[in-house]
Amino acid sequence: MFDKVMAAIGIGSAQVDTRLASSVIRSGETLEGEIHIQGGKVSQEISGLVLDLISEVIKEVDDKKIRVPHTWARLALTDPMTVAADESHVVKFSMEIPLLSPLSVGRQQPKTWVATRADIDKAIDPRDRDPLEIRPGALHEKLFNAMKALGFHLNGAPLEASRRNPATGCIQEFEFKPSQGSRFGHLDEAELAFLPSQEGVLDVLIQRDTKARGLGSMLAEVSGSDEQFYRISLSGNESQDQLETMLGQTLS
């Protein structure tokens, strides 16, 4: 009885340890790994295992911007199972990393991790947390390389909570600055963001932010009308040259 009471408050309870095949993965690839379950001092029922992909997002609360954990993808694993005292189990898993995943690039890049939760009856759920670095997929890389070829360099890539992206509940803004001498020197900044697409594999939202030049431009900047938005659907088969042409026309 004493062991059951202690297990209920987490002492001597079953433990979970997630082991990722790799802590670095590209968007669009499949994350694989194993969850090792080690029984405690008493037999316990596990109703299920859950993997959460979580990132820190920027959220505005009371006119202040704070960082909070946000679950943007989830995978439920296993049927209910019994873990006997001192018994070991290994559960393998695979999970596709969406193209809309937060990417580990630029300044202000979000921290991302895999959180494993075991729902254990009448006990504190043991949890495990493993950092994950998500690199750009092939389509992202072609877009970023196209921006570089046009004379832009990636500055920040903050991740913000947003209802505009129902797929994940957050949007990452890739902020590009024109390099000195670039033909896009009339822009203060260009931002790219990825959204779900009804026609292709991804939509890219492009924002042009022009520099203030004279009174009229200054007034436009104050009112926010200097910012222009464009949304383009991508099939995923575009070449870097095609993307460079598309972006160049949009940002000119």
Amino acid 126: pLDDT? 63
**Three-state SS for 162?**
coil
Distance CA 27, CA 189 (A): 25
Structure tokens at 241: 């040259």
Burial per residue of 11-49, b for 16 or more beta-carbon CB atoms within 10 angstroms, e otherwise: ebbbbbebebeeeebbbbeebebebebebbbbebebeeb
Amino acid 1: pLDDT? 37
Q: Which residues contact 223 (CB under 8 A, 6 or more apart)?
A: none
Q: Domains for the chain: give ranges and CATH numbers.
A: 2-135 (2.60.40.640), 138-251 (no CATH)
Q: Is the CB of residue 17 less than 8 Å from the CB of residue 39? A: no
Distance CA 184, CA 206 (A): 14
The helix-helix angle for 138-149 and 240-251 (nearest 10°) equals 50
Distance CA 144, CA 138 (A): 10
Distance CA 29, CA 147 (A): 24
Helices (H), 93-212: 138-149
Q: How many CB atoms lie within 10 A of CB 9?
A: 10
Amino acid 100: pLDDT? 95
Per-residue pLDDT in tens (0 to 9) along the chain, 252 residues: 333 433 333 434 788 999 999 999 999 999 999 999 998 888 888 888 999 999 999 988 888 889 999 999 999 987 788 889 889 999 999 999 999 999 999 988 899 999 998 887 655 556 789 999 999 999 999 999 999 999 999 999 999 999 888 889 999 999 999 988 889 988 999 999 999 998 899 999 999 887 644 433 333 344 444 468 899 999 999 999 999 999 999 998
- Using the structure block, give the residue that is written with the tokens 């109703």: 47
Amino acid 220: pLDDT? 37
Amino acid 159: pLDDT? 95
Strand partners, 65: 60
Distance CA 118, CA 78 (A): 10
Burial of 83 (0-12, 13-18, 19+ CB in 10 A): buried
Distance CA 173, CA 102 (A): 10
Chain mean position to CA 225: 30
The single-letter code of the amino acid at 13 is: S
DSSP one-letter string for 38-105: E--SS-EEEEEEEEEEEEEEEEEETTEEEEEEEEEEEEEE---EEE-TT-EEEEEEEEE--TTSPP--
